[in-house]
Structure 1
């Protein structure tokens, strides 16, 4: 672990509560949450503790009652609250509706956030631009429809076309709001303070928003120069949402998180924008036990670390609810605070995350880049129209996996059209990236790194015809495209470019095939296109999720296409994923894979998921086991001390002939640990708080030449660890 400047902003957390020593996680930055009257005071409190301070607030919802009830401008604004078909407001809490992002609401937020700029924050995070699929019935939305489409509003439930157009408008409205707000406040900060203000959007993945039936701008944000980056809001609550693989519906937290983090990585791929991956040691649902939270948290951490292109992290939302909160015990007889060992492990992981910007990266068995093409238009097709019961939709907010009971809505929630393309490969240890199809128009050569791409229009649509031109060029130059679809999706008939004008196609696939020289081909087959290959499977993608036979047919087609036209590519099937990032080894073994054979690792490692930070020489991982290791055989020093791992922020290290001292910082009342390489065997280890010194527990591991120490931080005095070897 290296000493780093907080201005690197490698790690951060968000918190709405005032500063408190019990959840002072000692990350690089803190996002003070909310723009109420206490905001300036809270900002100053965290500044006084040495943090780089950002502000976070909701752009779709928040404590904005002064706007709703007319105190802001003399007019009530409940007509701008999102409303469903039944006429009910869509609420995040009492008097906290999800808002339609009108010009007036944007102006209100701009005026409120100016106070945070005046208080000196360095960045603003406008989180979760969310418009529910069930919304679209408020008076303000009807007005926006008329302005945008230049026609009278149509109820979204009337037709697939109305639903698709309503959802597209919802995404546009949040794009407009973010553009106006961020641009105006950037200018305000430069004019008034000569300060460059940064803007970030914390957002769920496109996969999750589609699954939960929420519309958001997603890749549209790439078109806004005022946006500087994002936080990937992925955690147990999103990733434990059930999906179907080989006919079995269940939670697959690791695999889902792996796909979600990969999806979010695409928002910054090829750009200079920042991305922080979020983890949450618990989740919004307070009804789980600590053991459940821990198991799923570790799965999301490992899934994120398997994407080495990202090395910045939001280590926790709401640390107060983690370290001061209580949750059900295993016996179901009451609630308990966070177990001591879990708290220690959390801090170790959080500080390890700050050291993930490593140049030496090795991905095991991931030679070929494979992508599933996805588009923002996935979010526009999230209402069933194949049944007569058009009122059956149930809004799923992610806090309880059992709230959706209607069979059609469960089918929507499963999102099997996407998972049917991704899970049959992921479960065989083949890394699949969700590739943002819309970006083909934004970035030249966007697809060049991929050998194999998978596409279906049964759950999304191409928004522009030139996407097909770029895709055809990529294939002719040697790419392999697998197209899966049976042309049965009712959304093929929305009013769009492929069925308007002089040339009309029944479905957008026909336009793609025509460009590839296959105008009349509808047979399931393999076609050689220039130096590349098209493999066409005439089934629904959800069939590949519902039964193994279809999944096998799909996998066989991929294998045959990769061995056609001199490609001769062999995909390595395995039951695990593993990546090496500098000295860190990250690995996960999956269930439901090609075998239950354990992954065996030999060497000299420190297990960072164990609060005792033990040195181990071998590790065996079975199905659903995860690990994060420090490889002691990786470039260890011989004459200088080195911190291998610690559940503290290391602020300073002072070396001398007889030992060293290091300044450690962290939340009080939580047991802290560290494992440190020493060139000589220590004789003494002390904890120094202010002017007081006392000996602490320590153990020496001769083979690795490392010392293990345990201690507690002080919130009032500087805390140092002193180790002497002579």
Structure 2
């Protein structure tokens, strides 16, 4: 049965008008941008059968009419985000498009623009990237918002750790406020005017990336807004290739970073009815890489996302026009080249496979330990060096890493306190899930699936004291907590609930850090470094800064030893610590695998077949598949997916396959996809074909095909034609195959 587009399992965003060369045949399309061409763009995509959404920036865009005062007669340039030098923080370089302070009047302006899209008939709206840069907070509009929120005069964010923390907390609040007001108002408008339930989603980078790139956004606070229906996890090569440090070496670790990023985004919707789409991007915003570079990093992000089976909806591409119509540097440096034909075919195969990931049977290779590493929205609030005279690290967005490394603060960008707690475990094959501490007070039982947690308050803070009570109770009920921290973080001294002397006052006494309060709740006041019993659980305290664990193999080993020792103290010989150099998961017939570099061995991983390689444009069948360190695979298990005897069924295709009909003489189907692309499909085929042809319009031509006798599958190769549709006919002898379902 063809998939109903209204399931919205796959989609993409595009600002350009419809074009047959990038008609990807997903379920929905997000028409990007609100201008005079928007209604026509919406109409054309609808005509092609898509469910149509709209996406627009909520922090930046072509807002000059608002900034110049043409909307309400009042100039609004004072609402542009500015750094400490009074310079506007810009999106790109030209034209001048500043990031905005989301004031009440700015929210009204965005609402009026959104109303145009509602009138044009879109079913959902995506308000992209509510972002406030850490080095911002100096514009007149922000100073006014500070006075209203804190009821005190504005303080320059770089003046003290407390000022920086409070400035960032306000930034997150302002975007939460504008999204709440805007989405509620537009939902009301759509229902009253058109009797239509309008949906709102927020495409956002991960909490890990925003913290690493020094951007503040509402993140988990949005789950408390009833007007927000879900998210797109904007994770791609550009975010995940940001270098980090492991065992003293700074380098790109795209797979590992993406694995952590998708993991924390899954946590935003776990246990809720909110929708999450995982994004992949076959290119990225930096246009200076080769197609080979883009491909290897794209495949790493795809596999990293598929190892998180709690999500089965995907944005398969932003900007397909720049993929299928763009040119990028050639390998030999001789100029630029268009997408290689085999890579285009592979991309489409992956994109259509993603629509089948809602599988009921999920089988990890073993019941492996899963370790939760806690992080909170407050990690974004302390991303400026606390010295008033420290240079401004500037703005990093992944498009010019070499330039930032020359002029910026690379050590700050490393975000080593977080990676020091995660990479030592991840590199030994331990499934690590970044957990959202803020959710502990939102969802009872949020921590229940975990027996082991890793925590440090050296790079984020618990916003509320009841979070500590919940953590302490989790330990006393039988959990193992590994706490890493030496109380050296200057942000421990901010005005907060644990710090009575500076205005917290919640307990009438001063704790030097929130760790001291947590340990008191656990009955460990004054405890020394090491392992301690707490009720039915255990606490292992490593009295050092978590960033130190990233600097050497000894540091990484120390964390691994602490986790293993805590588990053994809790579970004895039943401890599920199993180091390995790979991750492997089966989702229905799909096998997802990644072999790690910098792990316990450099051996290959062999996967038994027969399997189909879905990253191969020829969809090759392998009796066994070998994967070397640093490589990833998406495979189809031929036997696990085999239909009833004699039936024809699709294994994979670089087309949207519809109207598959089988008879006693063969089968036929309709394949839909971009024009000018070499397409492939592999299907279960119970007997060798006698002939294969495909028709584009009224013209029928022979198709290339290869039958695999051992797997009883056939590879078909064809084109979609300018009309984005071909009909493929496969004929065999009527006496050569049993009827479908026959014994």
Contact 2:369–2:576 (CA under 8 A) maintained in structure 1: no
* 1:430-579 paired onto structure 2 within 5 Å: 430-500=430-500, 501=505, 502-521=508-527, 523-567=528-572, 568-579=574-585
Contact 2:480 2:570 in 1 (8 A): no
Q: Partners in 2 of 1:718 and 1:302 — Cα distance?
A: 29
Partner in structure 1 of residue 594 of structure 2: 588
The correspondence of residues 49-448 of structure 1 with structure 2, limited to 5 A, is 49-93=48-92, 94-386=95-387, 389-405=389-405, 409-448=409-448
Equivalent of 2:646, from 639, 650, 661?
639
Alpha-carbon distance in 2 for matches of 1:565, 1:453: 13
Aligned residues: 723
| C-alpha distance in structure 1 between counterparts of 2:406 and 2:345, whole Å | 42
Q: Which residue does 2:3 correspond to in 1?
A: 4
Higher alpha-carbon deviation: 503-512 or 167-176? 503-512
The alignment partner of 1:92 has SS state of: coil
Q: What SS does structure 2 have at the residue aligned with 1:143? A: helix
Query: 1:689 and 2:707 equivalent?
Result: no
User: What is the alpha-carbon distance in structure 2 between the residues aligned to residue 174 and residue 365 of structure 1?
Assistant: 42
Structure-2 separation of matches of 1:619 and 1:62? 47
C-alpha contact 1:366 1:431 (8 A) present in aligned 2: no
8 Å Cα contact 1:604/1:631 also seen in 2: yes
1:403 positional shift: 2.3
SS class of match (1:89): coil
Cα shift at 1:566:
4.2
Cα distance in structure 1, aligned partners of 2:408 and 2:13: 37
Q: Does 1:699 pair with 2:699?
A: no
Aligned partners of 1:394 and 1:406 also within 8 Å: no
What are structure 2's unaligned runs of at least 5 residues?
Answer: 734-743
Shift of 1:69: 1.1
Give the one of 705, 709, 719 matched to 2:716. Answer: 709
Structure 1 unmatched ranges of 5 or more: none
Q: What secondary structure, in the 3-state scheme, does the structure 2 residue paired with 1:694 have?
A: strand
Shift of 1:718: 4.3
- Greater mean alpha carbon deviation, residues 364-373 or residues 59-68: 364-373
Which residue number corresponds to residue 602 of structure 1? 608
Once structures 1 and 2 are overlaid, which stretch shifts more, 388-397 or 59-68?
388-397
Partner of 2:15 in structure 1? 16
Tell me, what secondary structure is at the counterpart of 2:405? coil
Taking a change above 3 Å as real, the CA distance of residues 419 and 718 of structure 1, as seen in their structure-2 partners, is closer
Q: Which of 650, 664, 680 pairs up with 1:673?
A: 680
Contact residue 244 and residue 419 of structure 2 kept, 8 A: yes
How much has 1:221 moved relative to structure 2?
Answer: 0.4
Q: 1:561 to 1:670 in 2, by over 3 A?
A: same
CA shift, 1:551, in A, is 1.4
Distance 1:635 1:670, change over 3 A: closer
RMSD of aligned residue pairs (Cα, Å): 1.1
Greater shift in the superposed pair: 247-256 or 710-719: 710-719
Q: In the aligned structure 1, how far is the partner of 2:168 from the partner of 2:660? A: 55
Contact 2:368 2:430 in 1 (8 A): no
**Structure 1 residues 653-672: aligned runs within 5 Å:** 653-672=660-679
Question: 2:193 & 2:12 partners in 1: Cα distance?
Answer: 28
Contact 1:366 1:430 in 2 (8 A): no
1:11-62 residue CA offsets vs partner (Å, 9 max, x unmatched): 0000000000000000000000001111111010100100000000000001
CA offsets per residue over residues 150-204 of structure 1, 9 Å max, x none? 0010000110000000000000000001000000000001000110000000000
Structure 1 residue 382 displacement after superposition: 0.3
- State the shift of 1:603 in Å: 1.6
Instruction: Give the secondary-structure state (helix, strand or coil) at the position aligned to 1:196.
Output: coil
Is 1:721 matched with 2:733?
no
Q: Secondary structure at the match of 2:409?
A: helix
Q: What is the alpha-carbon distance in structure 1 between the residues aligned to residue 487 and residue 404 of structure 2? A: 28
Q: Would the aligned equivalents of 1:690 and 1:717 in 2 still touch at CA under 8 Å? A: no
Q: Which moved more, 1:694-703 or 1:407-416?
A: 407-416
* Structure 1 runs of 4+ with >6 Å offset: none
Q: CA deviation at 1:564?
A: 1.0
Q: Distance in 2 between matches of 1:299 and 1:156?
A: 38
How much has 1:719 moved relative to structure 2?
Answer: 1.6
Q: Partners of 2:356 and 2:101 in 1: how far apart?
A: 40
The residue aligned with 1:622 is 628
Q: Closer, same or farther in 2 for the Cα pair 1:473/1:406, shift >3 Å?
A: farther
Conserved in 2, the CA contact under 8 Å of 1:660 and 1:723? Answer: yes
Q: Is 1:210–1:378's contact at 8 Å kept on the other side of the alignment? A: yes
Shift of 1:275: 0.4
Partner of 1:708: helix, strand, or coil? strand
Alpha-carbon distance in 1 for matches of 2:186, 2:161? 38
Contact 2:420-2:548 within 8 A present in 1 as well: yes
- The alignment's TM-score, normalised by the length of structure 1, stands at 0.98
1:718 and 1:612, CA in 2 relative to 1: closer, same or farther beyond 3 A?
A: closer
3-state DSSP class of the match of 2:564? helix
Task: Please say if residues 125 and 200 of structure 2, whose CA atoms lie closer than 8 Å, have aligned partners that are also in contact.
Answer: yes
Deviations 1:334-353 (A, max 9, x none): 00000000000000000000
* 1:292-345 alpha-carbon deviations (Å, 9 max, x no partner): 000100000010001011110000000000000000001112000000000000
Q: Deviations over 1:262-283 (max 9, x none)?
A: 0100000110000000000010
**Displacement after TM superposition at 1:693 (Å):** 1.6
Specify whether residues 408 and 508 from structure 1 end up closer, same or farther in structure 2 by C-alpha distance, changes over 3 A only.
farther
Contact 1:392/1:406 (8 A) holds in 2: no
Preserved CA contact (<8 Å) 1:205 1:233: yes
CA deviation after TM superposition for structure 1 residue 565, in Å: 4.1
Distance 1:322 1:365 in 2: 38
Instruction: State the distance in 2 between where 1:188 and 1:50 align.
Output: 26
The whole-number CA distance in structure 1 between the counterparts of 2:44 and 2:586 is 39
How much has 1:404 moved relative to structure 2?
2.2
Report what 2:736 is aligned to: none
Q: Compute the displacement of 1:691 (Å).
A: 2.5
Structure 1: how far apart are the matches of 2:425 and 2:704?
A: 48
Give the equivalent residue in structure 2 for 1:651: 658
For the 8 Å contact 2:394–2:408, the answer to whether it is kept is: no
How many angstroms does 1:717 deviate by? 7.1
Given that 1:373 and 1:437 are in contact with CA atoms closer than 8 Å, whether structure 2 keeps it comes out as: yes
Work out the CA distance in 1 between the residues paired with 2:472 and 2:483: 13
